[in-house]
Amino acid sequence: MTGPTVGVEEEFLLLDPFTGHNLPVAEQATAALPDDVRAHSRREFRRSMVEIVTPVCTDLGQLREHLLGLRQEAAKAAATAGAQLVAIGATPVAEPDLAVADDPRFRQIADHYGPIVADPAVCGCHVHVGVPDRDTAIEVGNHLRIWLPVLQAMGVNSPLHAGADTGHASWRAMQLDRWPSLGPTPYFADAADFDRTVATLVGAGAMLDETMVLWHARPSARYPTVEVRVADACPTVADTVLLAGLVRGLVGTALDEIAAGRPAPAVPDHLVRAAHWNAAHTGLDGTLTDLSSGRARPAQELVDDLLTTATPALRRHGDLEPVRAGLARLRERGTGAARQRRVHARTGDVTAVLADLAHQTLDG
C-alpha cells in the first residue's frame, strides 16, 4: 500500500557544546559532509544552521532510514567543526555572530526587512506531500487550515530564549510572527486567487518577491507538492516520521474531500491566527482551539479527532499503525518543549538540556 510521495526538509542549529551559543561554522560542517550527503544539504540563511533534505519517499520506513542516515552524517560533520548538531526550534542561549550567510539573495532579504533579520536563528521541519497539480495544492491547503494548529502544537520544540524559559512552547513561532509573509495560510478560491494575492503583497512590500511565500502550508515553488512548514525542528527521527505520516494522512483526507466535492470549512482568519498562537503558547499541555466549533478543548481530544479524521487515508497509505505507535510515544514522552522543560527542572542547567537534545537528535 502506498500513498502520495513524501519528503522532509530539516533545519538544525550548530551549537557550542560548552556554552550553548550558536557557532557560525555551517560552511566548514557542510564541506565535511560526504559528497552524496552534501547533495542533500542546502545553504541556510544563518551561518549557524544547516538544512538536510531527504529524497522523495513512498513509505514511512524508507523516510525514517533516510532521516536517520542524514542526521548521523550531519552530526559527524558538525563535530569536525567543533559543534553539536541540535534539533531545536530556536536559538536557546545566544547567537554572537548575527551575519547572514554570504549569498546575494540573503543580503537582499536583509536589506529589505531590516533589523528583524538580526533575530536569533530559528529552525523548522517542512513536510512535502505530492499532489497532482498546483490548483489541487491550493485546495488541499484550504482543507488543512483547521488542522494545522494541532500539528503545530504537536511539533513545539523551542521553549528557551537567552538561556531561560519563555513560557511559550514554541518561541520560534513568536519570532516568526515579526515577518510579514509568514504565518497562517489564507483561504484561496483557486490558484489565480493565490497569484493575485501574492502579487498584491509583493507590490505592498510585505513580500520581497514571490519566493517569500512562507505560509504554514503552501504550494511548493520547487516541487509538485504541498509543503507544510508549521512545526519546529523535531527532536527525534521518530517525531519527524510521525509528523510526516500525519501530514500525508491529512493531505490524503483533503484529496478525498475534494474528489467528493466537499468544500473546505470556512474559518475566519482571525480565529485561525488565534488558534496558531494558542498552539505555539501551550503545545499539548492545555487546551487548543477547535476551529470546527470555535471552542477551547483539551489538546489531546483534538489530537484524537485529527487521528479519527485521517484514519481512512492513513490506512490506505499503510501508515495507520506507525502513526498510532508514534502518537502513543508522543503522549508518553510529551512534546519536545515538554521534554526540554523536564530536563531543565531536574538539572537547572541549559547546557544539560542541549546535551540531551543533541542525544535525541540521533535517536531513531
pLDDT at residue 55 in the model: 97
Tell me the H-state helices in 205-292: 237-259, 269-282
297-348: pLDDT as tens digits = 999 999 999 999 999 999 999 999 999 999 999 999 999 999 999 999 999 9
Is residue 364 scored above 80 in pLDDT?
A: no
The pTM for the full model equals: 0.97
Judge whether 296 and 282 are in contact, CB under 8 Å.
no
- pLDDT > 70 in the chain, percent: 100
How is the chain split into domains, by residue range? 6-185+213-361
Helix-helix angle 60-80:237-259, to 10 degrees: 140
Rounded distance, CA 301 to CA 307, Å? 10
For the chain, give the mean pLDDT.
Answer: 96
What's the topology of domain 6-185+213-361?
Answer: Creatine Kinase; Chain A, domain 2 (3.30.590)
192-241: pLDDT as tens digits = 999 999 999 999 999 999 889 999 999 988 889 999 999 999 999 999 99
Confidence of residue 181 (pLDDT cuts 50, 70, 90): confident
Judge whether 41 and 52 are in contact, CB under 8 Å.
yes
pLDDT at residue 101 in the model: 87
Which DSSP symbol is given to 19?
T
